[in-house]
């Protein structure tokens, strides 16, 4: 007996799928930029962000097209990058859970580290020791010897790492002093945890913030730390005294990015409110609005090699990276108080150097 089958096509619909094939070379950032690194010796800026691509740009103002090259190997957001070995090596951290080692001059990936089990959010670098630390949502901090990483080959691809334990929540920020004697982490735990990377010993836990700690900076000898938090404050910590010694309430919303001058006397801050301020750490009342971006600020890079005034590179949740020139603290003292006299013609002013001046507005 023959069986007759008839397909029922009445309920079927044609489905049309369309997609855009990207250009072979994408010269411009497609989404927010999470990380910046400047190589002043070669006049190059590295940008990395939410399209998974690291790009190299010329910061030579005389070059018509600033784009130099793209470095593609990650498969998810690139959250942080650091330049090592005098600009020869770049280390990157990504939401694809990997840390990658790049030849920064030739633009190719030399090795991939798969030690983390979740998004890698932050890197820290000790220049004097060529030591890099990585941290992320898996609550782990790993220490990497850069000279060992750059020596890895296909046949010699085994690398050992030290780890720092103790974090109870996801890590979003990391800092290590230039001498490699102190490392600090910030997390959704709202505290700063401090270690000695030479022995992996826990040193202290610092409390004060009331929200996620998104940005950290250490001075050269590791005695002072600056932190920026989603609670809207910047805090200055004395690691010797193990306490917060100053709180700066500059922003209306969360502080996501910090940079500091070489003398550790002025801090540049930016974040959710799109504003970038420069604040005198010695006198919290002295702060100047440098600029206001069109989107929340994710990262800043201060060009310390430039002659005064310094330049500040700023990355936001938009795809563009802007350069701002800050001559705020190279103009001399700023006026912080003024009083108009009864005759409406003369004014008394006081500046940041405590000088009082008498002015005739008609002269």
Domains (ranges, CATH) in the chain? 33-333 (2.130.10.10), 334-363 (no CATH)
pLDDT band at 148 (very low <50, low <70, confident <90, very high): very high
Check if the beta carbon of residue 302 is closer than 8 Å to that of residue 40: no
What are the counts of helices (DSSP H) followed by strands (DSSP E) for the chain? 1, 30
Q: Which of 177, 259, 182, 181 is nearest to 215 (CA)?
A: 259
CA gap 128, 198 in Å, rounded? 13
pLDDT score at 294: 95
Residue with tokens 């974040």: 271
On the 0-12 / 13-18 / 19+ scale of CB atoms within 10 A, 34 is buried
pLDDT score at 330: 47
Inter-CA distances, 262 with 44, 221, 259, 299, Å: 21, 12, 10, 18
Spatial neighbors of 20 by CB under 8 A, at least 6 apart, are none
User: In this structure, what are the phi and psi dihedrals at residue 324, rounded to the nearest 5 degrees?
Assistant: -120, 140
pLDDT band at 329 (very low <50, low <70, confident <90, very high): very low
Please give the average per-residue pLDDT across 347-352, as a whole number. 79
Burial 159-175 (b: 16+ CB within 10 A, else e): eebeebeebeebbbbbb
pLDDT score at 104: 98
- What does the pLDDT look like over 236-274, one tens digit per residue? 999 999 999 999 999 999 999 999 999 999 999 999 999
- What does the pLDDT look like over 44-78, one tens digit per residue? 999 999 999 999 999 987 788 999 999 999 999 99
CA gap 191, 253 in Å, rounded? 19
- What does the pLDDT look like over 194-235, one tens digit per residue? 999 999 999 999 999 999 999 999 999 999 999 999 999 999
Residue with tokens 């540049």: 268
pLDDT score at 217: 99
Segment holding 149, helix H or strand E: helix 146-150
Please give the average per-residue pLDDT across 146-169, as a whole number. 86
Inter-CA distances, 279 with 187, 264, 296, Å: 24, 11, 19
């Amino acid at each position: 007996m023959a069986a007759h089958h008839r397909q029922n096509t009445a309920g079927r619909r044609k489905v049309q799928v369309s997609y855009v094939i990207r250009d072979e070379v994408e010269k411009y950032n497609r989404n927010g930029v999470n990380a910046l690194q400047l190589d002043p010796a070669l006049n190059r800026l590295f940008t990395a962000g939410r399209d998974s691509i690291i790009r190299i740009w010329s910061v030579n103002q005389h070059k018509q097209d600033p784009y130099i090259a793209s470095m593609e190997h990650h498969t998810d957001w690139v959250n942080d990058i650091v330049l090592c070995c005098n600009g020869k090596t770049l280390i990157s951290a990504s939401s694809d859970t990997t840390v990658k080692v790049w030849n920064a001059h030739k633009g190719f990936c030399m090795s991939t580290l798969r030690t983390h089990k979740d998004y890698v959010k932050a890197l820290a670098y000790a220049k004097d020791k060529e030591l890099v630390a990585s941290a992320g949502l898996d609550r782990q901090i790993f220490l990497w010897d850069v000279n060992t990483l750059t020596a890895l080959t296909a046949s010699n691809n085994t690398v050992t790492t030290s780890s720092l334990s103790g974090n109870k929540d996801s890590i979003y920020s990391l800092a290590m002093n230039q001498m490699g004697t102190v490392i600090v982490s910030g997390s959704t735990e709202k505290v700063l945890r401090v270690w000695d990377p030479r022995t992996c010993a826990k040193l202290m836990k610092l409390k004060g913030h009331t929200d996620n700690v998104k940005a950290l900076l250490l001075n050269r000898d590791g005695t002072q730390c600056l932190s920026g938090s989603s609670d809207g404050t910047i805090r200055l910590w004395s690691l010797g005294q193990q306490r917060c010694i100053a709180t700066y309430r500059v922003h209306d919303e969360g502080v996501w990015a910090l940079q500091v001058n070489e003398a550790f006397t002025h801090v540049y801050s930016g974040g959710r409110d799109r504003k970038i301020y420069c604040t005198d750490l010695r006198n919290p009342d002295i702060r100047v609005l440098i600029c206001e971006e069109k989107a929340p600020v994710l990262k800043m890079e201060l060009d310390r090699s430039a002659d005064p005034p310094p330049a500040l590179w700023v990355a936001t949740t938009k795809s563009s990276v802007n350069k701002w020139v800050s001559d705020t603290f190279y103009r001399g003292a700023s006026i912080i108080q003024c009083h108009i006299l009864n005759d409406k013609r003369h004014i008394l002013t006081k500046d940041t150097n405590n000088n009082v001046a008498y002015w005739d507005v008609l002269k």
